[in-house]
Amino acid sequence: MICLSMPVAMMAQDVQQSPVEMEQNPISISVSGSNLRVKNAEGLVVEVFSLTGEKVYTQRVEGVSKSFDLGQLQRGYYIVKIGKFTRKIYLH
């Protein structure tokens, strides 16, 4: 019979989680036509940049799930930045 004398709470302190594992609800974005949908970014700012680096849209995310109409932008590729999250999108 093996007996562990170390308290469980002490063992849990020694385990380190990576930032990805600690992030319960990662930011996600999806695009449908010219509609950008953002989830799990409440309180953060959505910034959209052209491929030349020009900021073309900025809006704060209110709520857990939010949609933004980017119909005023031309069709093509853009870079979306939300906090530390960055992704390339295509607007139809």
The pTM (predicted TM-score) of the whole model is 0.72
CATH of the domain at 53: 2.60.40.3080
Task: Summarize pLDDT for 20-71 with one digit per residue, the tens.
Answer: 444 567 999 999 999 999 999 999 999 999 999 999 999 999 999 999 999 9
3-class SS of residue 14: helix
Cα–Cα distance between 86 and 75 in angstroms, integer? Answer: 19
What phi, psi does 87 have (nearest 5°)?
-150, 145
Q: What is the pLDDT of residue 19?
A: 52
Q: How far lies 39's CA from each of 30, 52, 75, in Å?
A: 9, 26, 23
Residue span of the structural domain in which 85 resides: 25-91
Domain assignment of residue 15, yes or no: no
Q: How many structural domains is the chain composed of?
A: 1
Our measurement of the distance from residue 25's CA atom to the centroid of its chain's CA atoms, rounded to an integer in Å, reads 9
In a domain, 50, yes or no: yes
pLDDT at 25: 78
Q: Is residue 35 part of a domain?
A: yes
71 falls within a domain = yes
